[in-house]
């Protein structure tokens, strides 16, 4: 509330929100200032450009999300559950955002990446580092799951990349369709991929029997 | 060369190229006209706005790509090969574009979708239709593959959505990393997903033996 140092944080939050609900390209410095309740002069006191703010906002958002990821991927949780819980949280977040904005927003990291990858090198490079860190969580869960015999054998990096690409494709389709339905495919898909079943669980006889 | 009716087509091609190599948001009507070699007055003779041009360009690009898809997904090709050939073509296209532009560009449909889904309803709706048509190719190949015993049993729609989301996640990661390497995961991943193996082919003894 009104502390001078709040302005920087409000700008970071406004930038993240505007990228997620709209796009980087449609977001002007004027929009950001209006959303943050910060004067344009103050904007340029803290950041030299929209791109510099986006980079700082990305760091800010990722640092906050990493705290959550550390929780989902805690050693105390069964390895497969870590991955499922992480995506369940994404789904809850998507539902909450749809409630608030009337739209399915997808993954902000990937939407920003799709938009700026070819045009803003510092942002792209930071996004690439974030992707690698995110993937690291999946990979360590898969390694632990393999050690416990809960996840199939195979290159854990490859399995992590598969599950991660699958999850991001689903989030992108949810954003493009403005529909949460694609997210329902994650859990049976991840279980099918990682648990060594020879067909997806959605079609297994026990599941079919349950629906009778 | 220079026929009046070329102007519309040049505008369509310029729009597609600028979205793919950059972003929709960064592309102004001035840029488009410059790229197409068309005067701004002519632009507004053909299209009432950048958004209207993007919609027409999307239809134009998709109609051209559908001809290629009809080839890849021909009944005369083995079902699994249809899916693999389609992605191999994407990879070749990505390589050629990187040669030309020095950048990995990813999938234009999804990059545009990630950017405009929350802000341009007509474009989003058309992109959603295109996604459904694209998915239809995968699903029909999977149905045929199941009939021939080449692809595992299970809901073909679910399997198609999994493979499609996986492929799009990889293309997005390739764009974000400016690196073709993520695309190498598609073929072993799709084979693992669809052929009912209990672990990825990259880790099977025969593959390991080959690398000795």
Query: What are A52-80's pLDDT values in tens digits?
Result: 999 999 999 999 999 999 999 999 999 99
State the span(s) of chain B assigned CATH 1.10.10.60.
1-58
pTM exceeds 0.80, yes or no: yes
Max Cα–Cα distance, chain B, nearest Å:
65
Question: Which regions of chain B carry the CATH code 1.10.357.10?
Answer: 73-198
CATH architecture under which domain A1-57 falls: Orthogonal Bundle (1.10)
DSSP A114: H
pLDDT average, residue stretch A175-186? 96
- Inspect the interface and report whether the beta carbons of A114 and B164 lie closer than 8 Å: no
Q: Are B118 and A158 in contact (CB < 8 Å)?
A: no
Residue B14 binned pLDDT confidence (cut-offs 50, 70, 90): very high
Percentage of chain A beyond pLDDT 90 is 89
CA A4 to chain B, closest CA, distance in angstroms equals: 33
- CATH dotted code for B73-198: 1.10.357.10
The CATH class given to the A73-200 domain equals: mainly alpha
Q: Is the Cβ pair B128, A176 closer than 8 Å?
A: yes
Q: Does B157 touch chain A (CB under 8 A)?
A: no
**How would you classify residue A178: left for phi > 0, otherwise alpha for psi between -120 and 50, otherwise beta?**
left
Closest CA to A131 of A119, A143, A114, A118: A114
Separation of alpha carbons B84 and B151, rounded Å: 13
Beta carbons of B185 and A168 less than 8 Å apart:
no
Q: Which of A24, A118, A154 sits opposite B199 (nearest CB)?
A: A154
pLDDT-above-90 percentage for chain B: 89
**pLDDT at residue A209 above 70?**
no
Whether the Cβ atoms of residue B151 and residue A199 lie closer than 8 Å to each other: no
Residues forming CATH 1.10.357.10 domain(s) in chain A = 73-200
Residue B67 — very low, low, confident or very high, per pLDDT cuts 50/70/90?
Answer: very high
- Between chain A and chain B, the number of residue pairs with CB atoms below 8 A apart is 186
What pLDDT is stored for residue A196 in this prediction? 79
- Span between the terminal Cα atoms of chain B, in Å: 56
Chain A residue with minimal CA distance to B23?
A115
CATH 1.10.10.60 fits B1-58, yes or no: yes
pLDDT value of residue A5: 67
What ipTM was assigned to the predicted interfaces of this complex? 0.90
Q: Which of residues 81-120 of B touch A (CB under 8 A)?
A: 101, 103, 105-106, 110-111, 113-119
Task: Report the C-alpha gap between B69 and B171 in whole angstroms.
Answer: 17
Instruction: Give the one of B25, B154, B176 whose C-beta lies nearest to A113's C-beta.
Output: B176
Total Cβ atoms within 10 A of residue A149 = 8
Residue B204's pLDDT is 46
């Amino acid at each position: 509330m009104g502390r001078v140092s709040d302005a920087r944080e409000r700008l970071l939050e406004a930038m993240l929100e505007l990228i997620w609900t709209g796009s980087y390209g449609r977001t002007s410095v004027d929009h950001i200032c209006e959303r943050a309740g910060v004067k344009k002069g103050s904007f340029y006191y803290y950041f030299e450009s929209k791109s510099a703010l986006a980079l700082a906002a990305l760091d800010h958002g990722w640092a906050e999300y990493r705290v959550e990821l550390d929780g989902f991927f805690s050693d105390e949780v069964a390895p497969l559950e870590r991955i499922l819980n992480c995506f369940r949280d994404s789904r809850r977040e998507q539902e909450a955002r749809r409630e608030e904005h009337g739209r399915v927003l997808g993954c902000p990291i990937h939407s920003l990446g799709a938009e700026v990858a070819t045009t803003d090198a510092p942002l792209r490079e930071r996004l690439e580092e974030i992707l690698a860190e995110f993937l690291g969580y999946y990979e360590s869960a898969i390694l632990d799951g393999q050690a416990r015999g809960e996840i199939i054998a195979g290159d854990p990096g490859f399995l992590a990349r598969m599950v991660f690409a699958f999850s991001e494709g689903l989030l992108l389709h949810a954003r493009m369709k403005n529909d949460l339905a694609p997210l329902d495919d994650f859990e049976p898909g991840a279980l099918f991929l990682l648990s060594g079943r020879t067909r997806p669980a959605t079609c297994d006889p026990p599941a079919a029997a349950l629906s009778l």
